[in-house]
Structure 1
């Protein structure tokens, strides 16, 4: 950041401009530029919304720590690509992004952009996003890959206003202390907030966060002395919605808060690229078409296909196919079993089920050994 300011010594830059150029979150940029100002290595102008290099900035840039390759956010990688002269060869597609938990996310196309870059641009423009689609299609994975500073709320019918904004909790001494919730934390730290399964939350509870999402960008915490909390730059809301899930209701009030709504489905080509059994991918495609036609209510998504791959590696193909049938909803199970039998060519596929009890003597024998009774019969 110091290097960027030093390269543009006459330009007063806002947090948003710096964030967009470097590809980092608003919160991270805010913390870094505050550190520079505190150390006297950059100047804060006017009301504090703009920053500019001073006589010490260039020296600070020389000592800057550069993150090793692969640790930059998607926006940082895009910014670096824009600053790098084009190579003679065809540009490569963006590679997998490692999420906070260590899992890899494979970017997909959205509006002629990598999806992670599109989400970051929407964040820069402060355009809230609703992602909708069946469970297991990668909605949460996409948001985690796009925003390393993400805070996630897992919504359900029991989510309360206190779960979002904060509540009083018992401390070690037995007294009550106020603890801010994820919404306030995201607002005060300028971070991205994912409300997962937002449509399972009561509309009255969701209404508590609407003032933070509109032009006011603030909320009043009535339970804590009527405190007013103002959102910092970088605060951004993304919501997830699973249509068809029991209890999931996308109200007009909620939908109107999200200017951009993106459908997320399973990328079956990616499933093949991940070396999932091509026969099982064909089964999933076939079932997905039936779901689109209204003939069926369920089809395996990428999450189920990845689970199939893991089960196959441990238990074998037949057991993994049985498990795939078994995780289907009861009303769709026969159709799934029929599709597996027809396309995968495996007859009598049944849900993975425990069989007869093994005898104690048989269970204690090492693999490949023969019991005394069996030896007697062999004679």
Structure 2
């Protein structure tokens, strides 16, 4: 669970970008100002290691807010965690970069709202078609749907893998999702597992926070819970929902329909006109979403336990079907006969004859297995991963395409 630690003494969640009002009238700081002040202390004392509490006393800010700032600096390589008990941080060679571009503090009237982190702006696409860019930036014209008809290059996801955009309402899909975010229209992506729903969302929103849903997902996995602090006692650690709300980030609820409807209900007030939730587990505080906060969810119809309730569906005004792009599979140099098998099975799946067909994920795995164990083993493995109830039909299609009888991948005689 992605979480942002904060002390229980705060009256509102604190983030690296802003801090809650402190006793003594310290007031709110501008976006990123606390992080810059923390970095300045580290830079002024090279080689020294500080605890969040030590910096807190120097800046007269809560230790939770300082801890948040240090966590962000560490994630960016602009600070180094050198001890865990207690946590101590020191400067790195790039810490000075975090002290630049400070903003003046300002008064805020809407509490406990936090400084907004704008949604990532789409990169304009040329109006005329041309060679697709090879950089990891996606986009479409932000002013005209016609501008989005130009091809767009691959997008590099946070894990370094490449995502190839597809068409959605005459736009590259990444640009379409970015427009939905700008308009505050929540989107639900649905389709079989392995079709690229998560990849699309990661490509569209670099600031994404993800909650991976399953039957055990609890309210605490969204809002946070009390955990034991390194120095003893307990502190409330805010969950991904609170982090996304206070930092104005995108939140993906993956496999949302596997989560209990009672648990999902905690997100609904943040998605409607209220844009607020109440954290009952932490003093009943009210959290207000910053500008840029956005919710997108994934749903796998037909997966055991996945239930799309009316309450959940009604929260997502845009519902987008995601299926495998078999033409893309060919451009990725996946063995053409494997793609033919997948297409054939997909047609039978749509007709209701079977319940499974290989998606892009399975085809990519096919190519990897073929490269390691050989093409015959890859074909046998493709049959082996099919559900038992569909295996006879899959074997029939595989045999017809490859011209030979195929059995699931299995151990043979002793060597």
| TM surpasses 0.5 | yes
Q: For residues 171 and 47 of structure 1, do their structure 2 counterparts lie closer, same or farther at Cα, with a shift above 3 Å needed? A: closer
In structure 1, distance between residues paired with 2:383 and 2:247 = 45
User: In structure 2, what is the equivalent of residue 199 of structure 1?
Assistant: 257
Please say if residues 73 and 148 of structure 1, whose CA atoms lie closer than 8 Å, have aligned partners that are also in contact: no
Equivalent position SS for 2:165: coil
Is 1:153 matched with 2:211? yes
Q: Which residue of 1 aligns with 2:413?
A: 356
Determine whether 1:143 maps to 2:207. no
1-structure distance, mates of 2:137, 2:153: 12
| Cα distance change on mapping 1:70 and 1:164 into 2, 3 Å | farther
Q: Whole-Å Cα distance in 1 between the matches of residues 352 and 230 of structure 2?
A: 55
Higher helix proportion (structure 1 or 2)? 1
1:156-177 superposed Cα distances (whole Å, 9 cap, x missing partner): 0000000111111122344221
What is the aligned partner in structure 1 of residue 9 from structure 2?
none
Correspondent of 1:234 among 270, 292, 308: 292
Per-residue CA deviation, residues 78-117 of structure 1 (Å, 9 max, x unaligned), is: 56x99xxx9xxxx851010000000000000000000000
Q: Which of 262, 274, 280 lines up with 2:320 in the alignment?
A: 262
Q: CA RMSD in A?
A: 2.8
Query: After superposition, where does 1:36-185 map in structure 2 within 5 Å?
Result: 38-39=102-103, 73-75=137-139, 78=141, 93-185=151-243
Paired residues of 1:283 and 1:344 also in contact (CA < 8 A): no
Distance 1:175 1:46 in 2: 32
Which of 338, 347, 350 aligns to 1:280? It is 338
| Alignment partner, residue 368 of structure 1 | none
Partner of 1:188: 246
CA distance in 2, matches of 1:72, 1:348: 43
How high is the TM-score relative to the length of structure 1?
0.73
Evaluate the alpha carbon distance shift between residue 39 and residue 186 of structure 1 in structure 2; reply closer, same or farther with a 3 A threshold: closer
What secondary structure sits across from 2:367 in the alignment? Answer: helix
Distance 1:351 1:152 in 2: 35
How many residue pairs get aligned? The number is: 299
| Alpha-carbon separation, structure 1, partners of 2:347 and 2:373 | 29
Q: Which runs of 5+ in 2 are unaligned?
A: 1-30, 37-99, 114-132
The 3 A distance-change label for structure 1 pair 71 and 318 is closer
Gaps (5+ residues) in structure 1?
1-29, 50-68, 359-379
How far residue 272 of structure 1 moved from its aligned partner, in angstroms, is 0.6
Between the aligned partners of 2:369 and 2:108, the Cα distance in structure 1 is 60
State the distance in 1 between where 2:371 and 2:217 align: 38
How far is 1:45 from its partner? 10
Give CA deviations for 1:305-344 in whole Å, capped at 9, x if unaligned: 0000111111111100011001111111111111111012
3-state secondary structure, aligned to 1:208: coil
Q: Which residue of 1 aligns with 2:5?
A: none
Q: TM-score, normalised by structure 2?
A: 0.67
Residue 327 (str. 1) matches residue 385 (str. 2): yes
Kept in 1: contact 2:136–2:153 (CA 8 A): no
Q: What CA deviation, in whole Å up to 9, does each residue of 1:49-106 have, x standing for no partner?
A: 9xxxxxxxxxxxxxxxxxxx9777535x756x99xxx9xxxx8510100000000000
C-alpha distance 70-149 of structure 1, shift in aligned 2 (>3 A): farther
What is the rounded CA distance, in whole Å, between the counterparts of 1:208 and 1:126 in structure 2? 18
Asked if the contact 1:200/1:247 (under 8 Å) is kept, the reply is yes
Q: Do the aligned partners of residues 194 and 311 (structure 1) sit closer, same or farther apart at CA in structure 2, a change above 3 Å counting?
A: same
The higher radius of gyration belongs to 1
Q: Would the aligned equivalents of 2:134 and 2:153 in 1 still touch at CA under 8 Å?
A: no
Shift in alpha-carbon separation, 1:174–1:265, aligned structure 2, 3 A: same
Residues 384 and 409 in structure 2, CA contact (< 8 A), matched pair in contact too: yes
Separation of aligned partners in 2, 1:44 and 1:93: 43
